[in-house]
Structures are given as structure tokens and as C-alpha cells.
Chain A
Amino acid sequence: MEIQSLLIISISAVFISNFVLSRILGLCPFIGVSKQLDSALGMGLAVIFVMGVASAVTWVIYRYLMLPSEQNLIYLILKGHIQNPPNLIYLRTLVFILVIAALVQFVEMVIQKTSPGLYRALGIYLPLITTNCAVLGVSILNIDSDYNFIESVVNGLMSGIGFTLALILMSGIREKLELANLPKAMRGTPIAFILAGLMALAFLGFSGLSIP
């Protein structure tokens, strides 16, 4: 039962509601870093990693620090002093963005210390991810869809994979496009958007998948 729901979440995160082509999130790196296949791959890996970790961390913080329940840690610590568990849901946006910014910094430092090879591959892309709306987007989506911990992490990782898939497809096409003979006004960003539109049309086909 569990496995089946995880599979459904994965397929829908990668194909049916792909972050870039269906939800239109994370466009800045999608247009900005898709000129070369190598950098697209680096950016994609960094995004998968950060989205997975961010999903896990924000879920735990939301569940155990912000949601008013008997397990709320603030309530457990201050039990003698306050009657009801505190309701901190309204702080969600503020807390999540700060957590993600801190997390990206932390991940960057850890990678720098532990594996210089990976740091060289991901290094320049990591700071850019803080302002990638896909990371905050997936954290909020996890909360809004009432996912449990494992579902949240899987949704985060798979959404990252969906983003990477779109980014890699795009960069593959754009590398070929460098040589194409285009009207001058269309060069650069406009043709990239046309490509994105065509890819979004193609991905629309996946929405016909009916999952029982």
C-alpha cells in the first residue's frame, strides 16, 4: 500500500506535474543554466540534493515546532507555563525561507569539507539554489498535500529529478540550436521559451496517464 502511493507520488512529480513544464516553477535556472549539458547536469544534481534535504528538514520543523499538537516540542518544553500548544502556522513562509537559506549554506560547507570533487562540480550552483522557487515550492506543497515524512522526502527527490530531466532535455536541444539559422530577434531567450512551450506540450501528454 505504502509502496504504491510512493510510486504514484514519484510518477506524478516527475512527469505529470513536472515542476518546470507543468507547475512553471524554477524558471530562472531552467533558462539561465541550460546552455551547456555539463552545467545543466551539475545544477540538476544540486537541486535534487537540496530539494530532498529541504523537504525532510522543513517537514520535521513544521510538524514538531509549528503545528499545534500534543507532540509540539515547544509545548512539551514549556508544559508548566502554557496551557495550549502554540499555533505558529502563520510563520511558515518566514521560517521555511530562512531554513532553506541556512540549509544551503550548511550543505555547501559540508560538501566543501568532505568531498572536494563534488564541491567542484556543484559549488557554483549551490548558492543560486536559495532563490530557486522550486525548493520553497516543494516544501510548501508537501505541507499543503498532507504528506507524511517519507512521502515528503520522496516527493522532494522526485520533483528534483523532474526538474533535472527538463533541464537536461532543454540543454541538449539548446546545444544543437547554437548552430541553427534563426531570425536575429529570436536568438537567445525567445527561442528558449518557444522550446519550453513545445516541451510543455509534449509533457501534457503525460497528464492522460490515469493512475488508479
Chain B
Amino acid sequence: MKIQEVLTRGLWTENPVFRLMLGLCPVLATSTSVQNAVGMGIAVIFVLTCSNLLISLIRSVVPDKIRIPIFISIIATFVTLVDLIMAAYFPDLHKSLGLFIPLIVVNCIILGRAEAFASKNNLFFSLMDGIAMGSGFTAALCLIATFREILGNGTWLGIPLFGSGFEPALLMILPSGAFFTIAFIIASLNGWDRRRKRQTKPSVQ
């Protein structure tokens, strides 16, 4: 296995949000602004990398039958760390992310990577996989947040982009805006895949 393969898989070919559709709840709920998205993304990268490292470290001593409860306890420990650190140093961000920080525990990406990757691979690859998958998640979150913040609020990272004449579409920062945005992104990816398949097919024959 090559390191590039691990990295591109997390960021693109097996992007957790757009390709595997894992961990959608925090993606849709916290993408109301780019600032929230970056905060959530960093929290997920931290938890995913640390839990991947620790699980890879102890993978040979964990009995197979009780591995899931052990993984969940490890993940919950790191989530509690993030929760407390964020509450202490970034109280505003902690307040706006609210419920979704403790809910990182049940994010399928983290348990999924622990089960599918970290428990079978060595320390270095698990670290890289954690960083790549976490960054893929963050990139997807930021992309959705960019659409929603620009259309729904007329700003990007809090910077106003349009003059005072711009009437923001409030719909986009409501829950339904999140659903519409992800629907169109996934549909365009599907369409792109289909077109590429059609183009590559004749050249193979």
C-alpha cells in the first residue's frame, strides 16, 4: 500500500461524506457558516486521528469479541477531551455547535475507520488515514458551508461579499437548505461519474 493511495482515498475516491455518505447529521447541521464548519472539522480530525492512533497501537491486545465497546470508549474519551477544551478556550464556537460536539461519538466515520482500517494497519498508515479521512470530511463540510453561507447570508467566513442591495435567501441556512445543497452536490458527482464512464468506455474497447 502506498501513502498517496491512503491520502487520495480519504480526500477524494472514498470521501466519507460524498462517496460513502457517512456522518451526514453533523455535516448538514453544522454547515450553517464556514466558521462552524471549520471548528467542527478540526474537532473531527483530532478525534479521528487520535482514536486511529490509539486503536492501531492496541490492535494486537484487544480481544475480538469486545472490540466494539473498547473502540467506543476510546472514541468517547477523545470526544470528551475536545468538548472540554472547546468549552474552555472557544466558548462561542462551543455554544453554536452545541449538541453536535458530544455527538461526534456516534459519527459513523470514526467507528467505521477504527473497524475497517486502524484495527488492521500499522501506526503510520493509521495516522495518515485519520488525517486524510478527517480532512476529506472537513473539506466536504466547508464546501457545503460555503454554498450555504454565501447564498443564505451573503458572507464568507463572516466577510460580506455583496453590497447592501443583496437580499440573502434565508432558506439556505435553514435545515431545508442543507438538504437541497447536499442533494445537488451528490447529483452532480453522480452525473460527472456517469459522463466519465461513458467517455472511457469506447477507448477501452
Contact = CB atoms under 8 A, between A and B. Distances in A.
Interface of A: 21-28, 31, 90-94, 97-98, 101, 130-133, 136-137, 140-141, 144, 183-186, 189-194, 196-198, 200-201, 204
Contacts of B13: none
Interface in B128-150: none
B34 interface: no
A98 B175 contact: no
Interface string B56-82: 000000000000110011001101100
Q: Is the interface of A mostly helix, strand, loop or mixed?
A: helix
A190 B24 contact: no
B102 A92 contact: yes
Contact of B84 (A31, A90, A140): A90
A27 B28 contact: yes
Contacts of B108: 28, 131
A26 B103 CA distance: 11
15 contacts: A24-B25, A24-B28, A25-B29, A25-B103, A27-B25, A93-B80, A97-B76, A97-B106, A98-B76, A140-B102, A185-B188, A186-B190, A189-B186, A193-B179, A194-B180
B102 A93 contact: yes
- Chain B, interface size category, equals 35 or more
Contacts of B79: 93
A201 B179 CA distance: 10
Contact of A194 (B21, B84, B102, B183): B183
A26 B108 CA distance: 11
A25 B76 contact: no
A98 B176 CA distance: 32
B83 interface: yes
B178 A24 contact: yes
B40 to A, nearest CB: 13
B161 interface: no
Contacts of A193: 179-180, 182-183, 186
A201 B169 CA distance: 13
Given A23-B29, A101-B72, A194-B179, A136 B24 contact: no
A110 B136 CA distance: 41
Contacts of A141: 99
Contacts of B21: 31, 189
A191 B183 contact: yes
Nearest to B187: A190
B166 interface: no
Nearest to A24: B29
Contacts of B3: none
B76 A93 contact: yes
Contact of B175 (A21, A26, A28, A144): A21
B73 to A, nearest CB: 6
A194 B190 CA distance: 15
B184 interface: yes
Interface in B10-65: 21-22, 24-25, 28-29
A185 B179 contact: no
Given A131-B108, A198-B176, A204-B174, A93 B83 contact: yes
Nearest to A144: B99
Nearest to A196: B179
A133 B25 contact: yes
Nearest to B193: A185
Contact of A26 (B25, B80, B190): B25
B105 interface: yes
Given A93-B79, A98-B73, A204-B176, A190 B186 contact: yes
B177 interface: yes
B202 to A, nearest CB: 19
A94 B29 CA distance: 22
